[in-house]
Amino acid sequence: MEIIVCIKQVPDTTEVRIDPQTNTLQREGVASIINPFDMYALEEGIRLKEKYGGKVTVITMGPPQAEEALREAISLGSDEAILITDRALAGSDTWATSLTLAKAIEKIGRFDLIICGKQAIDGDTAQVGPGISAHLNIPQVTYVKKIEEIRILEHQSTGAPEHRAPSTHSAIVRVQRMMEEGYVVMEVPLPCLITVVKEINEPRLPSLKGKLRARNALITKWGIQDLGIDKQDVGLEGSPTRVVRVFSPPPRKGGQILQGNVQEMVEKLVELLKSEIL
């Protein structure tokens, strides 16, 4: 199985604090981490490799320092790592980002499965995964909470004509997709893209051998020219959306702490909420 996992380096938003004086984000000294949902994607990719053989290639688009995230991915068990970095990519929105990642995946060539986290914790858009599959014109399943099985089919040379991307296997993957009121079971032929939720697995910690390997691993670096992307199609220029204003939300103020004994407090609360509930 040739597996590609897309990851993003993000600020650890759980460490982000609001400066009470200026009411702005304190970004200084906040650690960069691999987007937590991408950790589940990585873990799933590595588990599939362990089960079916093959290779995990991890790719990220970001500034040069995103290399750290790729090294961490290698220490966890990824085989190869590609960093897509280019000044021209600054300001890319989800359209341009998914185009860039799709072009990189096309350059990699053969693959069976692309795995992404369901969304990144800084942008929370959940758009890049489906965007990649749309650019590549492959099927997708979002919010996967379990891969039930992968059925390798007899080797057929056919495959539907719209399969632009060549797959190394002819196989069907059966997954559970999380929905608001439960889940649905879906089957999808490879090659395809899935985005995963937390429930799918518990990510491992790195191994020492992996860490030693990661220290010296070669990271492939591609710019937009390597990918044959036109400057007009990425970065701020190529992005359909643009941020025009950034501001801090008014901080939520603590309200009242109810006083009195338990009976009195409960009575007061019921009184306060009655109009909302009835």
Partner 1 sequence: MSIKVIKEKCTGCKICVKVCPFGAIKVEHKLAVIDLNRCNLCGACVSVCKFQAIILSAPEDLGTRAPKENYRGIWVFGEQKKGIIQPVVFELLGEARRLAEDLKTDVSCVVLGYKIESQQIEELFWRGADKVYLVEAEELYHYQDEPYTEIFVELIKEYKPEILLCGATAIGRSLVSRVAVKIRTGLTADCTGLAIDPETKLLLQTRPAFGGNIMATIVCSDYRPQMATVRHKVMKELPVDKTRKGLIIRKNYDGRLLHSRTKLIDIVEEIGESVNLAEADIIVSGGRGLGRAENFKLIEELAKVLGGAVGASRAAVDSGWIAYSHQVGQTGRTVCPKIYFACGISGQIQHLIGMQSSKIIVAINKDPHAPIFNVATYGIVGDLFEIVPLLTQRFKEVLKK
Partner 2 sequence: MRDYLLTEEQRMIQDLARKIAQEKIRPVAAKYDETEEFPWEIMRILAQSDLFGVFIPQEYGGLGGGVLELAIVTEELSRACGGIAVCYAATGLGTYPIILFGNEEQKKKYLPLIASGKKLAAFALTEAGAGSDASAIQTTAEKKGDYYLLNGTKQWITNGGEAEVYTVIALTDRTKGARGATAFILEKGMEGFSFGKKEKKMGIRASATRELIFNNCKVPKENVLGKEGMGFIVAMKTFDVSRPGVAAQAVGIAQGALDLAIEYAKERKQFGQSISSFQGIQFMLADMATSIAAARALIYTVCRAVDRGEKDIAKESAMAKLFASDVCMKVTTDAVQIFGGYGYMRDYPIEKFMRDAKITQIYEGTNQIMRNIIALNLIKETLR
Q: Which of partner 1, partner 2, none interacts with 239 (beta carbon under 5 to 8 A by kind)? A: partner 1
Q: Which is nearer to partner 2, 50 or 264 (CB)?
A: 50
Least distance from C-beta 2 to partner 1, angstroms? 19
Question: Which of the listed partners (partner 2, partner 1, none) does 206 bind, with a CB threshold of 5 to 8 Å by partner kind?
Answer: partner 2
- If one asks whether residue 26 binds partner 1 (CB under 8 A), the answer comes out as yes
CA 28, 29, 33, 35 torsion-angle sign? negative
Q: Which stretch binds partner 1 (CB under 8 A): 7-15, 50-58, 75-83, 212-220?
A: 7-15
Please state, in angstroms and rounded to a whole number, the distance separating the CA atoms of residues 261 and 242. Answer: 53
Q: Rule CB under 8 A: is residue 235 a binding residue for partner 1?
A: yes
156 binds partner 1 (CB under 8 A): no
Of residues 162 through 221, those in contact with partner 2 by CB under 8 A are: 204-212
Cα torsion through 234, 235, 238, 240, rounded to 10: 120
Structure tokens at 171: 């196989």
Site membership for partner 1, residue 206 (CB under 8 A): no
Residue 228, phi-psi category: left (phi > 0), alpha (psi -120 to 50), beta (remainder): left
Beta bridge partners of 60: 7, 83
Can you tell me which residue has the tokens 């380096």?
A: 9
According to the binding rule CB under 8 A, does residue 177 interact with partner 1? yes
23 or 207: whose CB is closer to partner 2? 207
Secondary structure, 3-state, 138-165: CCEEEEEEEEEEEEECCCCCCCCCCCCC
Omega before 191 within 30 of 0, i.e. cis: yes
Choose between 164 and 209: whose C-beta lies nearer to partner 1.
164
155 touches partner 1 (CB under 8 A): no
Partner from partner 1, partner 2, none contacting 198, C-beta within 5 to 8 A by type = partner 1
CB of 196 to partner 1, least distance (A): 12
On the 0-12 / 13-18 / 19+ scale of CB atoms within 10 A, 56 is buried
Q: How far apart are CA 139 and CA 132, in angstroms?
A: 10
Q: Does 91 bind partner 1 (CB under 8 A)?
A: yes
Out of partner 2, partner 1, none, what residue 104 binds, judged by CB under 5 to 8 A for its kind, is none
Nearer to partner 1, 45 or 238 (CB): 238
Q: Which does 154 bind (CB under 5 to 8 A by kind): partner 1, partner 2, none?
A: none
Q: Which is nearer to partner 1, 174 or 221 (CB)?
A: 174
Gap between the Cα atoms of 260 and 266, Å rounded: 9
Binding site for partner 2 (CB under 8 A): 204-212
